[in-house]
Amino acid sequence: MVVLDLEGKIIEGHLTPSIDTATHLYLYRNRPDIHGVCHTHSTFASTFVVLGETIPPCLITSALLGGEVPLGRFVSIGGDNIAQEILDTIGDKFAILMQNHGVFTIGHDARHAAKVAIELEEVAKITYFALLRGNPIRLSEKQLRETSGMYANAYGQSSNDNA
Query: Which sign does the torsion angle of CA 33, 123, 43, 1 carry?
Result: positive
Interval 97-134: pLDDT, tens: 999 999 999 999 999 999 999 999 999 999 999 999 99
Residues 6+ apart with CB under 8 A from 117: 38, 40, 42, 95, 103, 105
How far apart are alpha carbons 46 and 124 in whole angstroms? Answer: 9
Tell me if 78 sits within 8 A of 130, measured CB to CB.
no
Q: Average pLDDT of the chain?
A: 91
pTM of the model: 0.88
CA–CA gap between residue 122 and residue 120 (Å, rounded): 5
User: Spelled out in words, what is the top-level CATH class assigned to the domain 3-152?
Assistant: alpha beta
pLDDT at residue 58 tops 60: yes
Closest CA to 85 of 103, 72, 100: 72
pLDDT tens for residues 62-99? 999 999 999 999 998 877 899 999 999 999 999 999 99
